[in-house]
Structure 1
């Protein structure tokens, strides 16, 4: 089913698994997709920032997206299609939708500075991929250097009917969520889904501010699913207690660039979700000291969440 504004829950950002020699590990894609479904994910997102998308050619990107979509068995898959030009963006977006994607995610180029430039870019991007393709705004100023005010997000939503979701990764961003939900309440912006990123660092309060869930890639997506579920059930203290137990590891994983991805892949490999923590070059691997720190943090998490103790 096409993505729409009612989407909620957890859409893990899937890393792209590789073999040590840089080949795509399709068996691990299957295993990871099965895991996401089994732990309660309501969808998934592929070829995002932590999916190493810039290291793939267009054929590989489509092959990976197709593998996830087919294995997902009807679970909605959002495909990152950000590209320097609209021709490449359109090509991947249309091909992914033809394969069964639920929608696409579009990040802004780092050259945008004014509200007019941002709104114009997204209006043109929507036209390029096709106005029948539901799309997600990726608002991640720490990485893309593009600052989107609530007003410009409202403008994009109002000008582009195919915009159905915001991936909210501003930091600090709690007030932005409240402002956007206020726009909906006063009728100045139509409803959209808001899923949050940043590794889930603020998920405990983001859902309380009106976010519909998470779209991020922490190595324990099952914890994120539990936090969103507990909040929806009104079990606020239980949600915060679980989140707090994971926060030191979650923070450590949130290191910028390839180091954070190295932590995530290392833990996911230890959990048996993927076969290897390899990144495609240029990439990074954890030092012996970093691995020992991760092991220490996992042991601490395991005191409160036994899933952290069930590792290879």
Structure 2
């Protein structure tokens, strides 16, 4: 099952569950993928930035992909394969595709600055992994410090037929989505899937600008599914109503440095993860922070019973 430009829906970014000693919690890993399957996620993304991919051993990364394929049969799996060098990228990309992945996600290294450097990097990456592997552009300037204009994204897509999806994480970025869809309507850009990140913080309006879904993390991915489903059904007010109920917790989870700690703590409270541990180095949520998350969950539960933990 290869990823195509028609892909859409919600592809949650899976955190990597760890035990307190830093080893991978494989039981929680299975439970997490079962959870995503059970709520009706359209696919899954593993080994992303919020999955602590750089902290994993190569065999651990492969093991997570194997687990995802086993627990989510029939669902497309996107695997982050970004690496400092192309040899490691190629090795992981070929391995995970052989294991049943649907495509790979490639983020640009933070050293890139000019348009030619960015487009040249993706051309080299495709040459390294092979033109037969569908890939996703990760556009995340807030963390990666690489600014891709709509014109640069168009060049990457048009120069590389194996590019099938854009993970859009610019902020602010609503006009970028509109511009890309305008390029498509004019015929200067072929159709690709646009899925959005930033923890879902702007998903309510991103869908209205032409996004196909979400490829991000949030401790309640059911909310992302709700918003996408309501927007696609033309139920604008319903989409905004449920989104607005979750917005305080969504915002709290977007804090730089502790966002993953908030997400893992909430998933632990929900009984999906056994521990909120991160592999070192990682920021922990303070006791005060935990009480604030508990408060937000209690308030959310008044509007959404799924938050009763």
TM-score of Structure 1 vs Structure 2, range by shorter chain: over 0.9
How far apart are the structure 1 equivalents of 2:27 and 2:127?
Answer: 36
Contact 2:79–2:103 (CA<8 Å) still a contact in 1? yes
1:83-232 equivalences in 2 (<5 Å): 83-232=83-232
Question: Could you tell me whether the CA contact under 8 Å between 2:37 and 2:71 is conserved in 1?
Answer: no
Matched, 1:64 2:64: yes
**Farther-moved stretch of structure 1 (6-15 vs 284-293):** 284-293
SS of the residue corresponding to residue 304 of structure 1 reads: coil
Residue aligning to 2:236:
236
SS of the aligned residue for 1:74 comes to coil
> What number of residue pairs does the alignment pair up?
309
Shift of 1:284: 2.1
Structure 1 residues not aligned, in runs of 5+:
none
Q: Which runs of 5+ in 2 are unaligned?
A: none
Following TM superposition, where does structure 1 have runs of at least 4 consecutive aligned residues deviating by more than 2 angstroms? none
User: What is the match of residue 287 of structure 1?
Assistant: 286
Single out whichever of 296-305 and 98-107 deviates more from structure 2. Answer: 296-305
Cα displacement (A) at 1:34:
1.1
Normalising by the residue count of structure 2, what TM-score does the alignment of the two structures yield?
Answer: 0.99
In structure 2, what is the equivalent of residue 263 of structure 1?
A: 262
Q: Could you say which residue in structure 1 is the equivalent of 2:9? A: 9
The 2-side partners of 1:69 and 1:194 are apart by 23
CA RMSD, 1 decimal: 0.7
CA distance in 2, matches of 1:111, 1:200: 27
Could you tell me how far 1:166 is from its partner in structure 2? Answer: 0.2
What do residues 33-64 of structure 1 show as CA deviations (whole Å, max 9, x unaligned)?
11111112100000000000110121211111
Q: Which secondary structure does the structure 1 equivalent of 2:164 belong to?
A: strand
Structure 1 Cα separation of the partners of residues 57 and 155 of structure 2: 33
Deviation (angstroms), 1:28: 1.1
Structure 1 counterpart SS, 2:29: helix
For the pair 1:47 / 2:47, whether they are aligned, the reply is yes
